[in-house]
Chains A and B, each alone.
Chain A
């Protein structure tokens, strides 16, 4: 069996009295693009920082590429490209000087020409002082530095933060290309449409614990689909009673319009609808965003 790129086992992390990670378990396979979802304060950044030994968990074990970051932090960091979520760059550098400095620390892995090409794709001026750059351009510098190492694993904390829509797309393309080269990508985000675009699997974290982990498509497919049906004549409500996976959300007074929630297969519904004159049928498949929000609403409801 292939060794997991990331393996977290019952991680607990306290900040004083705040219990930031509550027994977090997670496994990411090599070559995967894994989206780590959660709202601000859920523990995404804390998890990544623990994996890089920037902070240390109070309990539990972590293995990154088969190495324990607490025992051999340099070995782990040599194989991980990292973009911090709260990116802070020293303002007196230019992007060129900062990248050269970080390359020296890292040992000049990726060719300088490759980095310049990436900078060009990101439309980043390399010779302007960082303190004069916009937030979006600083984010590009952060992204570029995470690509210095030509590493087997990248941890990107909110990689598209502060970028305009076109540049977000370009960054997602670059990440996808890196993944196609076999690099494992672990990225956190709360912009779910982006995760949906590039992640093979997603994990949803809430209050320091993983509440769901699944293939991105499965997660969406597993969610309830909404169907709005317009009939040419009134249809009795009882027509749908025999379908176990249907929930009627709304019926118009004239019983010609139904809003239904379907769990799983659509086959039964389609066959039932075929018995009546259907004027219009609209199927709405939920986005990852809706799935995600549902998880949070459900959890809050339970709480």
Chain B
């Protein structure tokens, strides 16, 4: 498994650096921005009040932007699950099924390695990639925090929203992986999971101002994501739920990969259904 993990992990090196350093820089400068906000406290409050509730809902609802939790949620943690979610979904659908479609997985699976080894080697490499991106990002935040007196936060507290973020992203990673095993192509799996990610974001955001969405919100993974609120404490129930959902989805994806035929160009089930009787196989 190590060879598969190592290969996939090295391949993600630029992705780790690109996303990690980019988000770390953003995190670092957020603390400077926070300091400058104090100077325009009243103006900003008036401006915030002028925004419609529907719009504010997408940035955490009625958070207090002048509190560290509210500020970091509004400026980063409210939207970052969607951005990194898109990255993670793309990574997960490309992980195995895309390689099957391209044909390169055939060569790997023709070696004496099990499908289990390939599945978990690649999946763990993607999870490790995500962990490193978040760790580097957290590093930027930690450096920013160290350079300011305006935040009454400890470095340890700063890790909490990243834990919540990691687990909600893990759910979408697992969901994308599972859907890629069921749906006919990697691109269709990517499309459906991205749709569910965006839908989850809308439902959870708008549920704050519309009670009718509460019943749907229970099924939205982002409902169990705490964002900046996690700075004051993690909800263990939510964390366990996210971990449980991820494990179940990942386990189902693994079982499906174990049991089914390897896919080759032209053999996705949708294409087969569309083929006419008697048509020659590939």
Interface residues in chain A, defined as those with a beta carbon under 8 Å from any beta carbon in chain B: 15-18, 20, 40-43, 45-46, 49, 52, 54-56, 73-75, 77-78, 80, 82, 84, 86-90, 92, 101-102, 104-107, 142, 145, 207-208
Segment of B100-108, B152-160, B228-236 in the binding face: B100-108
Chain A residue at smallest Cβ distance from B277: A17
Do A84 and B107 contact each other (CB < 8 Å), given the known contacts A18-B281, A20-B281, A92-B11?
Answer: yes
Q: Which of A18, A43, A101, A102 contacts B279, CB < 8 Å?
A: A18
Q: Are B282 and A41 in contact, CB atoms less than 8 angstroms apart?
A: yes
Q: Are A107 and B106 also in contact (CB < 8 A) when A16-B275, A18-B279 are?
A: no
6 smallest beta-carbon distances between A and B, as pairs: A88-B103, A16-B272, A41-B280, A20-B281, A78-B112, A55-B261
A residues within 8 A CB of B4?
105
> In whole angstroms, how far apart are the Cα atoms of A46 and B266 in the complex?
13
Give the shortest distance, in Å, between A240 (CB) and chain B (any CB).
Answer: 42
User: Is the pair A105, B281 in contact by a Cβ cutoff of 8 Å?
Assistant: no
Q: Is A84 in contact with B281, judged by CB distance below 8 angstroms?
A: no
Judge whether A105 and B275 touch: CB under 8 Å: no
CB–CB A145/B107 < 8 A: yes
Say whether A74 contacts B109, CB under 8 Å: no
User: Is the C-beta of B265 less than 8 angstroms from some C-beta in chain A?
Assistant: yes
Contact of A41 among B112, B113, B264, B281 (CB under 8 A): B281
A270 CB to closest chain B CB (Å) equals: 45
Nearest-neighbour CB distance to chain B for A209, whole angstroms, equals 13
In chain B, positions 36-66 with a C-beta closer than 8 Å to chain A are none
Complex: chain A residue closest to B11, CB-CB: A92
Shortest distance in angstroms between A58's beta carbon and chain B's nearest beta carbon?
Answer: 10
A74 touches B107 (CB 8 A): no
Question: Most chain-B Cβ atoms within 10 A of its Cβ — which of A74, A78, A92, A105?
Answer: A105
17 extra interface residue pairs, beta carbon distance < 8 Å, beyond A42-B280, A49-B264, A86-B103:
A16-B269, A16-B272, A17-B272, A54-B110, A56-B261, A74-B113, A82-B110, A86-B264, A87-B103, A87-B107, A89-B107, A101-B7, A104-B3, A105-B3, A105-B111, A106-B112, A107-B112
Q: Is B262 an interface residue (CB 8 A)?
A: yes
Q: What's the nearest-Cβ distance from chain B to residue A86, in Å?
A: 5
Residue of A nearest to B114 (CB): A74
- Smallest distance from the beta carbon of B240 to chain A beta carbons, Å? 36
B187 within 8 A of A: no
Q: Is B267's CB within 8 Å of the partner chain A?
A: yes
A15 adjacent to B267 (CB under 8 Å): yes
Nearest B residue to A105 by beta-carbon distance?
Answer: B111
Dominant secondary structure of chain B at its interface with chain A: loop
Residues of B within 8 A of A16 (CB): 269, 272-273, 275
Chain A residue nearest in CB terms to B273: A16
In the assembled complex, the CB of B31 is this many whole angstroms from the nearest CB of chain A, namely 38
Whole-angstrom distance between the Cβ of B255 and the nearest chain A Cβ: 15
**Bound complex: CA of A90 vs CA of B11, how far in Å?**
11
Contacts of B244-280 to chain A: CB distance below 8 A: 261-262, 264-265, 267, 269, 272-273, 275, 277-280
Q: Which of A75, A90, A207 has the most CB of B within 10 A?
A: A90
In the complex the two chains form, is A105's CB within 8 Å of B280's CB? no
What residue in chain B is nearest A106 (Cβ atoms)?
A: B111
Which partner residue on chain B sits nearest A54 by CB separation?
B262
* A89 and B104 contacting across the interface, CB-CB below 8 Å: yes
A-facing mask of B2-42, CB < 8 A → 1, else 0? Answer: 01100100010000000000000000000000000000000
Whether A102 and B111, one on each chain, are in contact in the complex, defined by CB atoms closer than 8 angstroms, is yes
Closest to A49 in B: B262
Contacts A16-B269, A104-B3; A54 near B261 (Cβ below 8 A): yes
Residues on B with beta carbons closer than 8 Å to the beta carbon of A52: 109-110
Once bound together, how far apart are the Cα atoms of A74 and B108, in whole Å? 12
Give Cα distance in the complex from A35 to B275, angstroms. 30
Contact A54 B109 (CB under 8 A): yes
Contact of A90 among B104, B269, B279 (CB under 8 A): B104
B residues less than 8 Å from A46 (CB atoms): 281
Min CB gap B1→A, angstroms? 10
A15: B residues at CB distance < 8 A: 267, 272, 275, 281-282
With contact pairs A16-B269, A16-B273, A88-B102 given, residues A105 and B264 touching in the complex (Cβ less than 8 Å): no
- Chain B residues lying within 8 Å of A106, measured Cβ to Cβ, are 111-112
Q: Which of B11, B108, B279 contacts A105 (CB 8 A)?
A: B108
Can you spell out 9 A-B residue pairs with CB atoms less than 8 angstroms apart? A17-B277, A20-B281, A46-B281, A55-B262, A77-B113, A88-B107, A89-B107, A102-B111, A106-B111
Q: With A16-B269, A16-B273, A17-B275 as known contacts, state yes or no: A84 contacts B103, CB within 8 Å.
A: yes
Contact of B113 among A92, A105, A142, A145 (CB under 8 A): A105
Q: Within the complex, which residue of A56, A74, A80, A88 is in contact with B104, where a contact is CB–CB below 8 Å?
A: A88
Could you tell me the distance in whole angstroms from the C-beta of A52 to the nearest C-beta in chain B?
6
What separation, in Å, do the CA atoms of A106 and B108 have in the docked complex? 10
